[in-house]
Structure 1
Amino acid sequence: MKLLIVGAGAMGLYFAARLTQAGHDVTILTRPGTTPATSIRLARGEQVGTISPIRVLDRVPDAGLAPDAVLIATKAWQVEAALGRLAGRIPRTSAIITVQNGIEAPEIARGLFPDNPVIAGTCVVHVLHPEPFSVELLGSDATLTLGYFDAIAADATRLADLISEIDASPIVCTRAEDIHRALWKKLALIASYGGIGAAAHATVGQTRDTSETRTLVRTAIREAADVARAHAVTFTDADEEEVMAIYTEHFAADATSSMQRDLAAGAPSELANQNGVIVARAAKLGIPVPTHSFIYRTQLPRERSARARE
């Protein structure tokens, strides 16, 4: 498979390393001016490996590129700019894969590329980016769930082949029965526990061991589910309980969300793409989401300060 990965942060480097190891033809598109590299350093505990060769570009050639698939591996708030660099530079047959938190990335991809197949995904992996072209994997390899965002250029056989090729690498890749449901369930989880964690300056262990904050997380999950259902997305009571159980039973006590860590570090975060989008979609239909509104409004000063420092 010929794959273009946009973004050389932790996620982009992780996917590039694992898929290169599996024998795929991988190109990484970085920010303009990035010093190129010929290998990726991948660390997992005491195991450290060098993956090479890799192909790195800091701009899209005038002649364009013709990958089988484009994997957007930036933060959610960087997706539009990242995809904009590819406008008119890839064929309409190239599949665009989004793996960002939230629900907006595949919508943006569809808006900019009306004819290409758009494959939305949810990804669970914990990776760090300690230095350029170096990535550290904490815990298990990624679990990736993919599904067509809509019916445009959708080809079930092509999707099955893509999933099979990715799953042959250390990445566990499966097909989503309903990708919109999967996206909203993940959004409900991360925006709720991460948002309350950010507001309380507390880890998962602290918020779930404190009845008041644990209740707030449950309430926030329910609010997100209400907004999803109002937008014709399946989100059952059992889904709510499943999302809550992930928070209460599956996270380490010292865990925090990536949005929460960015806010604490004074870095730009996905606040607008998580709690902000829930608030915005709720407002369109007049649905009350007081918990997410509280999170969004109280964290907005930190977010704006971080953006001003960019």
Structure 2
Amino acid sequence: MVDSPLKLHSPDLVLIGTKAWQVKEVARSLKEIIAENTLVIPLQNGVMAAQELTEELSMHHVMGGLCNIFSKIKEPGVIEHMSAEPHIIFGELDHRISQRASHISEVFQQAGIKHRLSSYIQGDTWKKFLLICLGGLGALTRANYGVLCETTELKEMMRQMLDEMYQVALAEGVELPEEIKDKTLKTTMSFAPSANSSMARDIWAGRPSELSYQNGSVVALAQKHGIKVPINYFIYHTLLPQEREARRQ
């Protein structure tokens, strides 16, 4: 075990499990240690991690990835899982089922790591993105998922958020079925009523959060394509002062 990536030497595979805003820094560190065939898979929330890695590393070294997990730190050394069974989804950015990706899948299988090798990792990443960004409404209203789903007005706002994000995904060239919106809302309604998002918990505790990589990314990408996303815009900009204060501290 090491406390710095710089202490590693020519790793075969690097899984990045940091917060989304730390990926750029990690990528710069990895430039010092990767070998010719090192593969790097980000598991961050949001849709920017793979792109940020390729800004520092060669496309050859980067795959897309995500981790479907719903958990929190109950106490030091104890992780409490809620609602979803943790598993990794990963795949080549050009959608190939490559030999190296299949080999990683075999390694995960042998290690007992639940996973799925994706033939369209961008679509899988956006499916999770739609889901997690709904947590921004919980962060703003200081409400758990049970309240969001039981309150008619808030549930309608989530529907509108999903409409906004779906249009942004299409503008980004991501192929998603329209029924993903209803499916995502249904998934949210299956969460334990007391559950809440990691971003919400960070914001409520006054810690730096992934706001800019969740609702903030929706706003930024929407602006790029000239799309109106009023609900996500309101959530992002209303929470932004708290985020800036948390980072100053």
Same fold (TM over 0.5): yes
RMSD: 1.8
| Counterpart residue number, 2:181 | 240
Are positions 1:222 and 2:163 aligned together? yes
**1:60-79 map, 5 Å:** 60-61=6-7, 65-79=9-23
**Residue type of the alignment partner of 1:212:** E
**Residue type of the alignment partner of 2:94:** D
**Residue type of the alignment partner of 1:138:** H
Change over 3 Å in CA distance of 1:137–1:171 after alignment to 2? farther
By percentage of residues, which structure has more strand? 1
By percentage of residues, which structure has more helix? 2
Once the two structures are TM-superposed, the CA of residue 115 in structure 1 deviates from its matched residue by 4.5
Are positions 1:130 and 2:90 aligned together? no
Where 1:121 maps in the other structure, the secondary structure is strand
| In structure 2, distance between residues paired with 1:141 and 1:251 | 12
| Counterpart residue number, 1:57 | 3
Once the two structures are TM-superposed, the CA of residue 81 in structure 1 deviates from its matched residue by 0.7
| Counterpart residue number, 2:145 | 204
Q: What whole-Å deviation, never above 9, does each CA across 1:253-305 have from its counterpart, x for those lacking one?
A: 01100001100000000000000011000001100000100100110011011
Please point out which of 204, 208, 233 is paired with 1:293: 233
| In structure 2, distance between residues paired with 1:168 and 1:127 | 27
**Residue type of the alignment partner of 1:227:** V
**Residue type of the alignment partner of 1:258:** S
**Residue type of the alignment partner of 1:274:** Q
Where 2:185 maps in the other structure, the secondary structure is helix
Moved more, 251-260 or 175-184: 175-184
**Residue type of the alignment partner of 1:183:** T
Are positions 1:144 and 2:88 aligned together? yes
Return the TM-score normalized by structure 1: 0.75
**Residue type of the alignment partner of 1:236:** P
Please point out which of 43, 47, 52 is paired with 1:108: 52
**Residue type of the alignment partner of 2:46:** G
Structure of greater Rg: 1
| In structure 2, distance between residues paired with 1:99 and 1:58 | 18
Return the TM-score normalized by structure 2: 0.93
**Residue type of the alignment partner of 1:226:** Q
**1:159-308 map, 5 Å:** 159-192=101-134, 194-248=135-189, 250-308=190-248
Where 2:115 maps in the other structure, the secondary structure is strand
**Is contact 2:68–2:87 with CA below 8 Å preserved after alignment?**
yes
Once the two structures are TM-superposed, the CA of residue 117 in structure 1 deviates from its matched residue by 2.9
| Counterpart residue number, 1:82 | 26
Once the two structures are TM-superposed, the CA of residue 57 in structure 1 deviates from its matched residue by 3.4
**Is contact 1:117–1:148 with CA below 8 Å preserved after alignment?**
no
Tell me, which stretches of 5 or more residues in structure 1 are unaligned? 1-54
Identity, % of aligned positions = 33
| In structure 2, distance between residues paired with 1:137 and 1:255 | 11
Q: What whole-Å deviation, never above 9, does each CA across 1:12-40 have from its counterpart, x for those lacking one?
A: xxxxxxxxxxxxxxxxxxxxxxxxxxxxx
Number of residue-to-residue matches in the alignment:
247
| In structure 1, distance between residues paired with 2:59 and 2:166 | 31
| In structure 1, distance between residues paired with 2:38 and 2:5 | 18
**Is contact 2:6–2:32 with CA below 8 Å preserved after alignment?**
no
| Counterpart residue number, 1:15 | none
